[in-house]
Amino acid sequence: MTYLPDNSNCRNGERNIKKEIEKIRNEINKDQYYLHCQYVMGVLAVKVKIIGEQLESKYNREVIQNVSQRIKTPESIYAKMKRKNLKPEFTLAKTKLNDLIGIRIVCLFVDDVYEIVKMLKEQKDLTLIKEKDYIAKPKKSGYMSLHLIMGVPVCIDNKMETKTVEIQIQTTAMDFWSVLEYQLLYKKNVKTTKKYSVHDEDNKAKVGDIVKVVSSRPLSKTKRYVLDSIVEEAVIL
């Protein structure tokens, strides 16, 4: 006779997790969480854009290469609260988690990172709550970035409130490593694409070629790489 394992406890556990996540989702909808987050991200997006324009004018090059934003999902909120051994409730998460809203700023050089940080700190209406410099002191995994937790004042329902935001500032190389670290930690395939303007003096490369590029001095407003070699030519059928 073959005995099958009793999986009822596992199924009950999964159902309980789904219920708790759904409860967080319902609390979020009542709180207009996404609307408030989008408002905060809009305020910061304008500030980052102005900082980028000021630096571009100062150095005659595009300093900020990319800006991305994200809002924690109910699933992410649940997972992080459990990791912190806290009750997975949205009302508690709002007071315990500083990274419900996240912004990542990517630039080319380490000096750029620190200049952007300095300019963010100089914003009179933003409050610095916490700073972690993983560039000066990288994580054991090799992860490098500079993290700021900042308070952003916003007017919601005719009342001024301060929302916390995690701002990550890193170079393109650090950004690549952070994606790789995520894959190593969570064993997930994350497909990312980036566009680079590359100077090909002799027009050797064609669409579909796999090429090797190297960084160079700024050759134009967007070109900071030159073609080194063609690794593999595209097959034209």
Quote the CA–CA distance of 47 and 213 in Å, as a whole number.
33
pLDDT interval class at 110 (50, 70, 90): very high
pLDDT interval class at 4 (50, 70, 90): very low
User: Which pLDDT belongs to residue 182?
Assistant: 58
The model's pLDDT over 127-177, given as tens digits with 9 standing for 90+, comes to 999 999 999 999 887 889 999 999 998 887 788 888 999 999 999 988 887
Quote the CA–CA distance of 170 and 135 in Å, as a whole number.
9
Greater model confidence, 22 or 181: 22
Which domains are delineated in the chain?
A: 10-186 (3.30.460.10), 198-232 (no CATH)
Q: What burial class does residue 225 get, using C-beta atoms within 10 Å of its C-beta: 0-12 exposed, 13-18 middle, 19+ buried? A: middle
* Mean per-residue pLDDT, 73-97: 92
Weakest mean pLDDT among 30-39, 93-102, 187-196: 187-196
Name the token pair of 177.
């490593």
The model's pLDDT over 28-65, given as tens digits with 9 standing for 90+, comes to 888 888 888 888 999 999 999 999 999 999 999 999 99
User: Which pLDDT belongs to residue 11?
Assistant: 66
| Extended beta strands in 47-158, E state | 64-71, 101-107, 127-133, 146-156
Predicted confidence (pLDDT) at residue 5 exceeds the cutoff of 70: no
User: Which pLDDT belongs to residue 120?
Assistant: 97
Residues 6 or more apart from 103 whose CB is under 8 A from it?
41, 44, 48, 67, 68, 69, 165, 166, 167, 168
Residues taking part in catalysis: 166
User: Which pLDDT belongs to residue 1?
Assistant: 38
Predicted confidence (pLDDT) at residue 87 exceeds the cutoff of 90: yes
Query: Is the Cβ–Cβ distance between 87 and 71 less than 8 Å?
Result: no
pTM for this one? 0.70
